[in-house]
Structure 1
Amino acid sequence: MDGPQVALLGYGEVGHVLADGLAPCVRLRVYDPAYPSGSTPSCELVARNADAVHGADVVIAVTTGADSFAACAESRPHLKPGVLYADLSTGAPGDKRRIAELLEPDGVAVVDGAIMAPIPLRGLATPVLASGKHADRFAAFAGGHGMDVTPIGGSPGDAAARKLLRSVLVKGLSALVIEAQRAARAAGLGEWFWEHALETVTEADEEFVVRLLRGAGQHGVRRVHEMEAATRMLEELGVPRTMTEATTVTLDHVTRTGTPPIPGPATRPTT
């Protein structure tokens, strides 16, 4: 087969999707220590990291964030100069910078990639942000093979920062919904609260978000007392109250430090 030689490190959920999408148009070798070597309908699984990355034009790492640096260190002796190494793991910005600091002196073109949506929903076309001076090069490769990569320039770690800031919001909301719904069920109000939660989320707009920030600043003391009452209620219900207690601590801190500024022309008054 013609086309670039590509190594894929990691064969979990993301790795399976990328392998299925890329295999028809590139020469693909996949390595994951959790999977034995052999052929699958979509790719060739190899026994060692070196077997995957040796001679590759592009390496795409989709390991866990905890394994990302070890994967790049294991790859390093076998990477040819000029190879494009795109780390798409969910790692901290500092982890992405360490990867660049290790590989770039050897002439490797390092890209920090951040997958910005659940990959089962859109498959190969899931939006990815790419940072670093070689982000445009990775975007060109990816776009030519069915991926949706947006280069943002900057340095390795910049894409990861955007991903993890989104995680603070979205995963935090997930934890809040879990805790609140558990409390609602324990109080015999599960169905009512579920409908209320859906209504609150689906009707949210910019004014709603602005009000969350400004209201915390203007009514901080009262809201701290309100959340202390909520904490006592969850304790009485026998429901874990981690997020509720954390909310109380955050709002109490706001009473002393204020809220962060609102970017842009968000000037609507609090109601």
Structure 2
Amino acid sequence: MRIAIVGFGEAGQIYAQDLAAVAEVVVWDKKFLASNPAPNAASEADNLRARAVQIGVRPAHSLAEALDGANLVFSLVTAASALEVAKQAAPLLTREQILLDFNSVAPDTKRKAAELVAKGEGDYLDIAVMAPVPPKRLATPLLLGGEQATVVAPVLTKLGCSAQAASERIGDVSAIKMCRSVMIKGLEALTTECLSAARQYGVEEAVLNSLHASFPSLGWDDRLPHYLISRVAEHGVRRAEEMGEVVKTLQDVGVTASMSQATQQVQARLPAKMQLKSLSYRDLTPFIWQDAVDRLK
């Protein structure tokens, strides 16, 4: 079994490393094309290629090379790049090759990607990743949609993934993921906004006590606030991009997306403040939400 992984970010690296134990894995990322920024300085491309070798996978020199001979092609890029990857991969795919689109985009975007792939010889599957890839890694729940879903789900399961065929139609599982994100990313944004203000007024303890009294099973008196705000601090840029697709998902069926548009703004705002303060997520770990809010005043 040969697997090509397109996109070598956090999720791509996790899937590559874990799948390397059970399959031959080749990886490709457009960042591999970057040149050295200065003499004697390692570029991001060099670092990424070195990381690939370190975890036991082969970095390709082009998308065509990565796809050559692959049985499954995992697309694990950003929402903004998902359609472009499908467009570039479509003429390169051969019979019995399947592009698995893991990206968090609107159902209509998945359907457009499927149409592009259908112009060639390969097949296409809509994959919805239903939880953060870390910490469960390969065990992260996956929903599969498309005509090949029932065929590919057991293959992924044998590789160590938690895969479930959920629909024969492209777009259904992405609709599930996008609608879920309204709530999950919205809760992260609401918590960030709520507790940032409470901290400024010096009433955060009373607010958290009240939240715990109303929802005692959620952990408002424990790690939940730290976790929710940390997700925005660490992944807000990517989450804001995903929320743009959520907004499109809602608008495509005539649902007003006011809350999701606000969530997108809050998800983007915290990382922007961190950048202005020259703070990385690593600078804020171990993550304590009160410390993060204080440092970002």
Same-fold call, TM cutoff 0.5: yes
Displacement after TM superposition at 1:202 (Å): 3.7
Q: Which runs of 5+ in 1 are unaligned?
A: 205-241, 248-271
Q: State yes or no: 1:134 paired with 2:148.
A: yes
- Aligned partner of 2:168: which letter? G
- Aligned partner of 1:24: which letter? A
- Which residue is equivalent to 2:36? none
Which protein has the larger Cα radius of gyration, Structure 1 or Structure 2?
1
TM normalised by structure 2 equals: 0.65
- Which residue is equivalent to 2:158? 144
Distance change in 2, residues 1:190/1:15 (3 Å): same
Q: Distance in 2 between matches of 1:202 and 1:95?
A: 39
Distance change in 2, residues 1:203/1:108 (3 Å): same
Q: Work out whether residues 131 and 157 of structure 1, in 8 Å CA contact, stay in contact via their aligned partners in 2.
A: yes
Q: Work out whether residues 55 and 79 of structure 1, in 8 Å CA contact, stay in contact via their aligned partners in 2.
A: no
- Aligned partner of 1:19: which letter? A
Q: Distance in 2 between matches of 1:198 and 1:42?
A: 46
- Which residue is equivalent to 1:193? 207
Q: Distance in 2 between matches of 1:202 and 1:10?
A: 40
Q: Work out whether residues 86 and 138 of structure 1, in 8 Å CA contact, stay in contact via their aligned partners in 2.
A: no
Q: Work out whether residues 93 and 161 of structure 1, in 8 Å CA contact, stay in contact via their aligned partners in 2.
A: yes
- Aligned partner of 1:5: which letter? R
Q: Distance in 1 between matches of 2:58 and 2:217?
A: 47
1:184 to 195, 198, 204: 198
Q: State yes or no: 1:11 paired with 2:25.
A: no
1:107 to 121, 137, 140: 121
Distance change in 2, residues 1:193/1:159 (3 Å): same
- Aligned partner of 2:91: which letter? P
- Which residue is equivalent to 1:215? none
Q: State yes or no: 1:26 paired with 2:23.
A: yes
Q: Distance in 1 between matches of 2:74 and 2:119?
A: 19
Displacement after TM superposition at 1:19 (Å): 0.6
After TM superposition, the runs of 4+ consecutive aligned structure 1 residues lying more than 4 A away are none
Query: For 1:80, what is the secondary structure of its paired residue?
Result: coil
Q: State yes or no: 1:95 paired with 2:95.
A: no
Aligned length: 205
Q: Distance in 1 between matches of 2:216 and 2:123?
A: 42
Q: Work out whether residues 56 and 79 of structure 1, in 8 Å CA contact, stay in contact via their aligned partners in 2.
A: no
Note the alpha carbon deviations across 1:91-122, whole angstroms, 9 max, x for none.
Answer: 11111001111112323221100110111121
- Aligned partner of 1:59: which letter? V
- Aligned partner of 2:14: which letter? V
Q: Which has the higher contact order (CA 8 A, sep 6+)?
A: 2
- Which residue is equivalent to 1:47? 61
Q: State yes or no: 1:124 paired with 2:138.
A: yes
Query: For 2:180, what is the secondary structure of its paired residue?
Result: helix
Q: CA RMSD in A?
A: 2.0
Query: For 1:106, what is the secondary structure of its paired residue?
Result: coil
Displacement after TM superposition at 1:186 (Å): 2.3
Q: Distance in 1 between matches of 2:29 and 2:195?
A: 38
Q: Distance in 1 between matches of 2:26 and 2:213?
A: 47
Q: Work out whether residues 9 and 60 of structure 1, in 8 Å CA contact, stay in contact via their aligned partners in 2.
A: yes
Displacement after TM superposition at 1:198 (Å): 3.5
Distance change in 2, residues 1:68/1:203 (3 Å): same
Q: Distance in 1 between matches of 2:56 and 2:82?
A: 24
- Aligned partner of 1:158: which letter? D
Q: Work out whether residues 89 and 117 of structure 2, in 8 Å CA contact, stay in contact via their aligned partners in 1.
A: no
Query: For 1:60, what is the secondary structure of its paired residue?
Result: strand
1:70 to 69, 76, 84: 84
Q: State yes or no: 1:168 paired with 2:168.
A: no
Query: For 1:52, what is the secondary structure of its paired residue?
Result: helix
Q: Work out whether residues 90 and 119 of structure 2, in 8 Å CA contact, stay in contact via their aligned partners in 1.
A: no
1:79 to 83, 90, 93: 93
Q: Work out whether residues 22 and 28 of structure 1, in 8 Å CA contact, stay in contact via their aligned partners in 2.
A: yes
Q: Work out whether residues 91 and 120 of structure 2, in 8 Å CA contact, stay in contact via their aligned partners in 1.
A: no
Deviates more, 1:115-124 or 1:194-203: 194-203
The share of aligned pairs that are identical, in percent, is 31
Q: Work out whether residues 140 and 162 of structure 2, in 8 Å CA contact, stay in contact via their aligned partners in 1.
A: yes
Query: For 2:115, what is the secondary structure of its paired residue?
Result: helix
